Amino acid sequence: METLPILGKTNDSRRLKGLDVQLFREVFEEELGRPLELPQISWDRHLENIKSGKTDVALSAFKTAERMNYAYFSEPYRKEDIVLISRRNQAKIRRILEPTIFFRDLNNSNLKLGVMAGYSYGDKADSFLQNPINSNRIIATNSDLENLLNLKEGKVDLVLVDRLVGATLLWDHGLTTELASGNHPIFSGDIRAMFSRKTTSPELVEEFNSAMQRIKDDGRYNKIVRGYVFPTLLGMTVGQPWFFTLENIGTAAFAFSGVLLANQDRFSLFGAFVLASLPAVGGGILRDLIVSRDRLGFMQSSHNLIIVIVLVLLSYLVMNIPGHVRFRRIAQFFKRKGQWIIQFLDALGLAAFTVVGVIVAVEQRCDPLLLWGPVFSAMTGAGGAILRDVIRADASHPTLRNELYAEISLFWGFALSVFISIYADSNVMDPFPLNLAVFLTAMGCLITRLIVMKFNIGALGFWKLRRSS
């Protein structure tokens, strides 16, 4: 059986396990019965191999006049957006992330660009990159990750990259707080498979086109796209400063509510830490254990746990220095007249964690999403509070008995899951609708919780159903 040497456009290991490789394995190995080899070499070297016939097929390639001289091209199987990425702390350079400003001001600036050697970024950008006059302003590397690290270190001012690849690398390597991506692409183009004219034939290209159409028709294409693209697109949203702030405020609110309860019930310092950490991270831990996540979420990013530790220690120090009675008076004020502040902050946390629950369900490919999305939302948002009440031996269990709380996460988690399911079937990869959906979900959850508190709306009582039967 013939083995086709094939390579993606980058030597980044995450990318070689990504969307295009999954699609190509489905087409070549499952549909056409042709095993694939995936050597990790640079894109410019790969183009030379396509020319010479050492490599048969390339994935995720733009069709250009030059490449048509030595390669056949398949029908488009998806679109790709090229965006610009800069450092967040350089406001002047961030202005040029917009395509019109970029192409207008690029020639008259001294900005250095990070690109991948041999890769095409659209006709306008390519004409600039290929002009010998600009050679001292171009830093070409063998991977997108290397470009982003050069940007972080100040070796280049801008990086050109595929939107999804860039977002994935920023998220995976913790660069979202230092680097920012443009909202609009400088180039959008059709992605195709590229076949060497020396070792393949137009008949193989037609076989590929037919096989790709079959996996689109039977739903496998959408399943693969949703499993890879949507965690990345959602990660782009939760990596935004506004969502990061929202999540931190919610975590602090959950933790502070635990501190107040520990003070009220006369818990030890360790007991206060337990009561503060359970609502902040307990629900997420429970969710991750159920889904058998490779690495628990709070271990991937320690800032939530740090917030809890700092808040508990500061509260302890304030209570045990001279004049700590003043803190107790503040606590009493919160319990009597300022409880709505804690409830408001708690509602912010519920809103953020509701979104996180759906994201984990998408990331872990939980099927059906319409079931597991809302379940994980409620578990992430309310599960920790339930565990806290169990530890406190609180027989009232307000989140289970009379408060309309977890139900709000269930509803809004279901709404976001429905949108994601519909959006996945549209084959559109623009992150803006998803960003908007995440924002509306968070705000909807927050507003619903505030309305429930304002009008003291209680949960449906199961005991009423029992009594009437």
- Dihedral class, residue 225 (left if φ above 0, else alpha if ψ from -120 to 50, else beta): alpha
Give the integer Cα–Cα distance in Å for 200 and 202.
7
**Residue 297: predicted pLDDT:** 65
Rounded to an integer, the average pLDDT of 215-234 is 80
Element (H, E) at 194: strand 187-196
Mean per-residue pLDDT, 417-422: 89
pLDDT bin (cut points 50, 70, 90) of residue 261 is confident
What are the C-alpha distances in Å from 178 to residues 45, 88, 115, 154, 168?
31, 6, 19, 11, 15
Percent pLDDT > 70 in the chain is: 84
The yes-or-no verdict on residue 231 having pLDDT over 80 is no
Instruction: Give 421-432 pLDDT, tens digit per residue.
Output: 888 766 566 677
Q: Which residues of 238-268 are buried (b: 16+ CB within 10 A; e: fewer)?
A: bbeeebbebbbbbbbbbbbbbbbbbbeeebe
* Structure tokens given for 85: 């990425």
- pLDDT of the residue at 11: 39
Q: What is the mean pLDDT of the chain?
A: 82
pLDDT of residue 463: 60
User: Quick one: average pLDDT of 259-269?
Assistant: 83
Note whether 191 and 77 are within 8 A (CB).
Answer: yes
3-40 confidence digits (pLDDT tens): 444 444 333 333 334 788 889 889 999 999 988 877 77
Question: Are residues 59 and 181 in contact, defined by beta-carbon separation less than 8 angstroms?
Answer: no
Residue 204 is predicted with a pLDDT of: 94
- Secondary structure (3-state) at 2: coil
Residue 323 confidence (pLDDT) above 60: no
Q: Does the structure show a pLDDT above 70 at 218?
A: yes
Q: pLDDT, tens digit, for every residue of 51-68?
A: 999 989 988 889 999 999
Residue 176 contacts residue 301 (beta carbons within 8 Å): no
**Residue 346 confidence (pLDDT):** 77
CATH topology match: 4-78+190-220 vs 79-188: yes
Indicate the fold that domain 79-188 takes in CATH. D-Maltodextrin-Binding Protein; domain 2 (3.40.190)
pLDDT at 284 over 70: yes
Query: What is the mean predicted confidence (pLDDT) over 64-84?
Result: 93
Residue 176 scores a pLDDT above 90:
no
Tokens, residue 368:
């059906």
Q: How many other C-beta atoms are found inside a 10 Å radius of the C-beta of residue 131? A: 12
Q: How far apart are CA 46 and CA 141, in angstroms?
A: 14
Residue 99 has pLDDT above 80, yes or no: yes
Give the start-to-end residue ranges of the domains of the chain: 4-78+190-220, 79-188, 232-463
- pLDDT-derived band of residue 335, with 50, 70 and 90 as boundaries? low
- For residues 90-105, average pLDDT: 91
As a whole number, mean pLDDT of residues 444-448 equals 94
Among the listed ranges 3-7, 171-175, 260-264, 297-301, which one has the minimum average pLDDT value?
3-7
Report d(CA 444, CA 103) in Å as an integer.
Answer: 39
Expressed in angstroms, the distance from the first to the final Cα of the chain is 68
The reported pLDDT for the residue numbered 113 is 97
Query: Is the CATH number 3.40.190.10 carried by domain 4-78+190-220?
Result: yes
- pLDDT value for 425: 66
Return the pLDDT at 15: 38
The three-class DSSP label of residue 231 is helix
| Contact partners, residue 137, CB within 8 Å, separation at least 6 | 110, 111, 112, 113
Cα–Cα distance, 264 to 286 (Å, whole number): 26
Q: What is the mean pLDDT of residues 388-396?
A: 73
User: Mean pLDDT throughout 112-134?
Assistant: 92
- The model's confidence at residue 366, banded by pLDDT at 50, 70 and 90, is confident
* Residue bearing the bigger pLDDT, 147 or 118: 147
Q: What is the mean pLDDT of residues 347-369?
A: 86
Residue 78's pLDDT is: 87
Percent share of the chain, pLDDT over 90: 35
Q: Which residue has the higher pLDDT, 417 or 340?
A: 417
pLDDT score, position 322: 57
pLDDT band (50, 70, 90) for residue 332? low
Residue 225 pLDDT > 60, yes or no? yes
Banded model confidence at residue 337, pLDDT cuts 50, 70, 90: low
| pLDDT score, position 321 | 64
Write out the two tokens for 230: 């949507």
pTM for this structure? 0.70
Backbone angles phi, psi at 162, to 5 degrees: -60, 135
